[in-house]
Structure 1
């Protein structure tokens, strides 16, 4: 296949930060995706409808002239979130979900939930009004191996949560293990997003020839057997699995230091990376549904009507993207891939 035309996709998990970085990275997403679920972990985080409205306006102002894009906003769940916040989110029309971060689990998660049961009143209302919960599914216990944090989170928190709130719609974000795949397959009202890095790479990518910080993300890359399980889920045609890049821009100096930030920047070339992964799995015919249909269906939003075309033509991912005072290093920067947007 030399050309692939699909319904324009959406990104159901995206970090775009704020300020100058927002203005740099947003056009990369807009070029490929019609909509995106915007992550709320700014400093300080987006915790109220008013804060989400202000952030949404800053995003809209950064959309390149003449192009269309809809930011789908989320609120950051904290120990202090109330049922009134959920009602206000639903009434806003533009807040589509709440995001759960365990405190300290990833970038800017210090405001996260310290004990998930503290949020049961909120979950009860979310279940009642049918507002989805987006979950960063890792425990933060220091005695749990970093490669086991997702598995332990499922056992310790997700299974009990589903027992308490069986009708609550949950998106298990950026799944990385066969354990997560099995949980999603078996649980009612649960879907999952899958990133390009977890489709294309296993944990060896972190250490080839030395420490490679631009492959470091959370949840961390896992072993090959888990990568294969993620590929199988993404290419299975099961509507429980859909596209979410978790693209997370960090400047080079914040990645390449003694305590580098977690996150891979893929917004520049996300759809091309997914095409690469699906072609490797001999499943390009499954890419459209994964990228363009299953996400809006789960969120109960209309599918897009515009189309986008990918052509098979080798190009090299830029080694870096200039910023005013630094630069971004894209995922797999400097590597040649085979698909690009026409």
Structure 2
């Protein structure tokens, strides 16, 4: 979605049968968001059409105001943007993607059933201390950035609760090593190679493995209005394995999360 996205664009997208949702980035808030929305009210007409046709809006929930503390960008977004949007478009399906704060958990929980949120494996496993452990770790720098431990704990509680408003969203970003280890490294963690296994670690630690299938498979599909896929099954085993130091990526390489360390679970496609 951009400032120029119109109700007609939404109608065409819905009619195509290929577009199931619309992603909104505030301008400049993350990697490759230079064409993002500058003022949320610019896209209110498009949102009205989305509510009519039942198309979900997926939001990267941070402000890009330089006077706002970097770690408060999500909290401020809730007050300045999300509250007005939900009030103005009460029937619009909204997903706050990759939430990172206790504030977001409380906000989504308090909203009606048309507001949900995704949570990444890395925001469940790490707090902001991990970015600075043994020096600066660029491969744990993502946006929204990792937060304090109290926020991680709140995310874990939401993810493992079985509440259908919360479901998986990996936000996996396999940026080349040269783009991460640089004077101005880009944001994003590569978790896609083992996202299910990483989620399993959190759910197992909480004694909530029975809630994992819903979080991964059915809760999100139901919210988006998609039919869950059946026929294929995955097998998770408590069997540790060592993550490679890097993976090939074209002429470069990508450094995965937990490179050189172990992941506790192994996944097999049956």
Q: Deviations over 1:192-244 (max 9, x none)?
A: 00000000000000000100000000000000000000000000000000010
Aligned to 2:58: 134
In structure 2, what is the equivalent of residue 293 of structure 1?
Answer: 218
Shift of 1:255: 0.2
Deviations 1:284-332 (A, max 9, x none): 1110110111011001111121211111111011110012321001111
Q: Which residue of 2 aligns with 1:200?
A: 125
User: What residue in structure 2 maps to residue 274 of structure 1?
Assistant: 199
TM-score, structure 2 as length reference: 0.97
Aligned counterpart, 1:143: 67
Counterpart of 1:185 (choices 109, 112, 137) is 109
Indicate whether 1:217 and 2:142 are aligned. Answer: yes
1:122 aligns with 2:46: yes
Task: Give the SS at the match of 2:90.
Answer: coil
Show the counterpart of 1:4. none
**Within the alignment, does 1:312 sit opposite 2:250 as a pair?**
no
| DSSP-derived class of the 1:96 partner | coil
After superposition, the C-alpha distances for 1:141-170 in whole angstroms (9 at most, x for unaligned) are: 001011100000000000000110000000
Equivalent residue for 1:167? 91
**Aligned counterparts of 2:14 and 2:248: Cα–Cα separation in 1:** 38
Instruction: Note the aligned Cα RMSD (angstroms).
Output: 0.7
Q: Which one of the candidate residues 228, 247, 250 is aligned to 1:324?
A: 250
Aligned to 1:53: none
Aligned length: 266
Give, in whole Å, the separation in 1 of the partners of 2:249 and 2:57. 34
* Alignment partner, residue 44 of structure 1: none
User: Equivalent residue for 2:181?
Assistant: 256
* d(CA) in 1 for partners of 2:37, 2:138: 27
| Structure 1 stretches of 4+ moved >3 Å | none
Which stretch shows the higher mean deviation, 155-164 or 322-331?
322-331
Q: Deviations over 1:128-149 (max 9, x none)?
A: 1111000000000001011100
Q: Tell me which residue corresponds to 1:70.
A: none
Describe the superposition over 1:39-75 as per-residue Cα deviations: whole angstroms up to 9, x where unpaired: xxxxxxxxxxxxxxxxxxxxxxxxxxxxxxxxxxxxx
Query: What is the TM-score with the length of structure 1 in the denominator?
Result: 0.77
Please give the alpha-carbon distance, in whole angstroms, between the structure 2 residues aligned to 1:175 and 1:281.
19
**Counterpart-to-counterpart distance in 2, 1:195 and 1:155:** 22
* 5+ residue gaps, structure 2: none
1:333 is aligned, of 255, 259, 263, to 259
Measure the CA separation in 2 of the matches of 1:323 and 1:87.
Answer: 37
Q: Distance in 2 between matches of 1:318 and 1:272?
A: 15
Q: CA deviation at 1:334?
A: 1.1
Distance 2:240 2:60 in 1: 34
Mapped to 2, the partners of 1:173 and 1:332 lie a distance apart of: 23
Matches within 5 A, 1:80-119: 80-119=4-43
Moved more, 85-94 or 227-236: 85-94
Distance 1:186 1:118 in 2: 26
